[in-house]
Amino acid sequence: MRFVDEARISVRSGNGGNGCVSFRREAHVPKGGPNGGNGGKGGDVIFRASEKLLTLYDFRLKRRYEARNGQPGMGSQCNGRNADDLIIDLPVGTLLYQIDEDENETLIADLSENGKEVAVCSGGRGGFGNEHFKSPTMRTPRFAQPGEKGEEMNVRLELKILADAGLLGLPNAGKSTFISTISAARPKIAPYPFTTLIPNLGVLINDFGEHFVVADIPGLIEGAHEGLGLGHQFLKHVERTSFLVHVLSAEELDADDPWAGFDLLNEELRRYSDELAKRPQLEVINKIDLLSEEELNALKERAAQEKRPVFFMSALEGDGVDALVEKMWRLYEQSREQR
């Protein structure tokens, strides 16, 4: 299934049922009065966050959603049935934007918690039947009230995945291998750039049953904040993360400036969001199995001299992975205490 993180749909609540005009006609009742029932209420449109859904793919296939109308009133004082509400399930982390006639957008809800609901369109009220209007001065009302119309709205859905940690890196940095090593996630892994085309989620679980979610974001390139490459459309997915893990490939390091890749990623984050650039982050050099012992030691010495806390690992062979995961757990616990 394709990962779809945006969709535009229209929704309409149900109309209220019309009131009924009716009079009693029983035998042996010489003065039968009005007995028309009220119409039923139209169904509301309610969006609900559900952890069972992962993408907005279905909303690219169906773009129109309508709640049922209320039933009209009937004679013998029978009120019309209220329509059931239309509940539309969305992935947890979906933002709802109302679109007006001028194509301006207004945020109306953030479905950030499983089970959270928000009603966006109220169903029309049912009309009163003629029994409602009888009075000492109006004994035979021959009219009833029509039901109110439902509401209609154009909505843009935007999904921002919920993860505690976000894996960022240049293409072919080995993030997919890393997330497959530390979790049960099985993303596509291949020796060429841009193998990750959609965000992948992995769950880390410790011995106490605690867990946190890691998101593998597609590789970023210079100019990503302006829409270049694949990563620009996924930068928004790291906005909800508590901390970031920047991963570079050892085979692509610049000998004169080995940390240039980290600086490039940080600059893209800053241009996209100042707040995101200030998020706690870990810097990781991956694929150290491709370096000689002398090259690796030289990198470690330079990081120590520049007081740059860089982690070195081989996600493929497992070297240094435990130390990084332990640090990620500590950052996760710190972020949880600050919430």
Q: Which residue, 127, 123, 158, is CA-closest to 141?
A: 127
Judge whether 202 lies within some domain: yes
Q: Are residues 209 and 228 in the same domain?
A: yes
Q: Are residues 106 and 210 in the same domain?
A: no
Kindly state the percentage of the chain with pLDDT values over 90.
30
> Does 99 belong to an annotated binding site?
no
> Does 309 belong to an annotated binding site?
no
Judge whether 1 lies within some domain: no
- Whether 307 shows a pLDDT value over 80: the answer reads yes
CATH code assigned at 137? 2.70.210.12
Q: Are residues 27 and 86 in the same domain?
A: yes
> Does 111 belong to an annotated binding site?
no
Of the chain, the end-to-end C-alpha distance in Å amounts to 34
- Can you give the residue range of the structural domain that contains 312? 165-337
pLDDT tier for residue 223 given thresholds of 50, 70 and 90: very low
Q: Which residue, 20, 14, 122, is CA-closest to 69?
A: 14
Q: Are residues 183 and 332 in the same domain?
A: yes
44-59 average pLDDT score: 86
> Does 316 belong to an annotated binding site?
yes
Q: Are residues 149 and 186 in the same domain?
A: no
> Does 106 belong to an annotated binding site?
no
> Does 288 belong to an annotated binding site?
yes
- Domain end residue (candidates: 103, 130, 159): 159
- Whether 75 shows a pLDDT value over 50: the answer reads yes
> Does 154 belong to an annotated binding site?
no
Q: Are residues 171 and 318 in the same domain?
A: yes
Which residues make Cβ contacts (< 8 Å) with residue 69, sequence separation at least 6?
14, 15, 16, 17, 42, 43, 83, 124, 147, 150
> Does 62 belong to an annotated binding site?
no
CATH code assigned at 287? 3.40.50.300
> Does 196 belong to an annotated binding site?
yes
- Domain end residue (candidates: 136, 159, 182): 159
Q: Are residues 146 and 38 in the same domain?
A: yes
138-166 average pLDDT score: 87
Domains identified in the chain, total number: 2
> Does 218 belong to an annotated binding site?
yes
- CA atoms lying within 13 Å on the CB side of residue 200: 23
Judge whether 141 lies within some domain: yes
- Domain end residue (candidates: 159, 193, 227): 159
> Does 286 belong to an annotated binding site?
yes
Cβ burial, residue 267 (10 Å; 0-12/13-18/19+): middle
> Does 195 belong to an annotated binding site?
yes
Q: Are residues 248 and 224 in the same domain?
A: yes
Q: Are residues 153 and 195 in the same domain?
A: no
> Does 41 belong to an annotated binding site?
no
In angstroms, the Cα distances linking 197 to 165, 167, 178, 215, 335 are 18, 14, 16, 13, 28
pTM of the model: 0.63
> Does 171 belong to an annotated binding site?
yes
Judge whether 214 lies within some domain: yes
- Whether 269 shows a pLDDT value over 90: the answer reads no
Residue pair 313/287 in contact (Cβ under 8 Å)? The answer is: no
> Does 189 belong to an annotated binding site?
no
Note the pLDDT tens digit of each residue in 105-123: 899 998 988 899 999 999 9
> Does 55 belong to an annotated binding site?
no
AA letter at 167: L
Per-residue tokens: 160: 């921002």
Q: Are residues 197 and 275 in the same domain?
A: yes
Q: Are residues 23 and 96 in the same domain?
A: yes
